[in-house]
C-alpha cells in the first residue's frame, strides 16, 4: 500500500558509492580532487575501503565551518550501503613540528594568551607560545619555543617565573 506523499520505489546506485563528509576549514587548503581517502564503517568491523576525493563543494557551512567533500568508493563487493555511518581518513601528509602536551600549557585568564614553563639555567622560565594544530593531547608550537627547549610538563600550581626548580626524570 502507498500514499500520494510517499515514493513507490527509490533507486540508489551503490557501486560506486559516494560519501559526503564535512572537512574542517583549517584543512580546506589541503583538499585536492583525486586525493586518496580511506573509509571504514562500524558495521563491517576493521575492514577499510579505498576511495578518492571527487568533489569539493565551493562554499563552507557558516555554522560548522566545514566544507562538504565527496568521496567515491568503488564498492565492488557491495558491502557499503547508503545510510551507513562512516569514518573517513584523508592523508594530508606530514610535517615536522615542535609539539607540547596539553597539560604543559598555561592559559592566561581573560585572554587568549598561552604560555609554557621552560627549564633554563636551573629555573622555570615563563614563555609565551603561539599554538597551531591540535592532534590528540598534543599542540603544535608555531612560535615561542626552539628545538631542544625543556618544557616543564607537570608543574605545581604555585610555580612562578624565575623560581629555582630541579628536574625529575
Alpha-carbon torsion (80, 81, 84, 90), positive or negative: positive
The three cell numbers of residue 82 are 547508503
Q: What separation in angstroms does the CA of 168 have from each of 9, 71, 92, 150?
A: 69, 49, 37, 12
Nearest residue to 114 (alpha-carbon basis) of 146, 92, 88, 140? 140
Q: pLDDT tens digits for 25-80? A: 988 988 999 999 999 999 999 999 999 999 999 999 999 999 999 999 999 999 99
> From CA 100, how far away is CA 14, in angstroms rounded?
44
Per-residue pLDDT at 108 exceeds 90 = no
Alpha-carbon torsion (69, 71, 30, 147), positive or negative: positive
Residue 62 lies in a domain: yes
Residue 6 lies in a domain: no
Residue 128 lies in a domain: yes
Indicate whether 83 and 113 sit together in one domain.
Answer: no
Band of pLDDT at residue 9, cut at 50, 70 and 90 = low
pTM value is: 0.56
Indicate whether 76 and 119 sit together in one domain.
Answer: no
Q: How many domains does the chain have?
A: 2
Q: CATH no. for residue 124?
A: 2.40.420.20
Show the domain range for 118.
98-151
Amino acid at each position: 500500500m502507498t500514499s500520494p506523499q510517499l515514493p513507490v520505489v527509490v533507486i540508489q546506485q551503490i557501486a560506486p558509492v559516494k560519501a559526503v563528509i564535512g572537512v574542517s576549514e583549517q584543512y580546506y587548503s589541503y583538499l585536492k580532487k583525486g586525493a586518496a581517502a580511506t573509509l571504514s564503517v562500524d558495521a563491517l568491523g576493521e575492514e577499510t575501503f579505498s576511495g578518492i576525493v571527487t568533489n569539493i563543494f565551493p562554499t563552507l557551512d557558516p555554522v560548522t565551518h566545514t566544507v562538504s567533500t565527496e568521496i567515491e568508493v568503488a564498492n565492488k563487493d557491495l558491502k557499503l550501503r547508503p545510510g551507513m555511518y562512516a569514518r573517513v581518513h584523508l592523508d594530508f601528509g606530514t610535517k615536522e613540528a615542535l609539539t607540547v602536551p596539553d597539560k604543559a600549557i598555561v592559559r592566561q585568564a581573560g585572554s587568549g594568551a598561552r604560555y609554557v614553563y621552560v627549564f633554563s639555567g636551573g629555573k622555570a622560565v615563563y614563555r609565551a607560545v603561539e599554538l597551531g594544530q591540535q592532534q590528540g593531547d598534543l599542540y603544535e608550537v608555531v612560535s615561542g619555543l626552539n628545538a631542544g627547549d625543556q618544557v616543564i610538563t607537570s608543574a605545581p600550581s604555585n610555580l612562578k617565573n624565575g623560581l629555582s626548580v630541579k628536574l625529575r626524570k
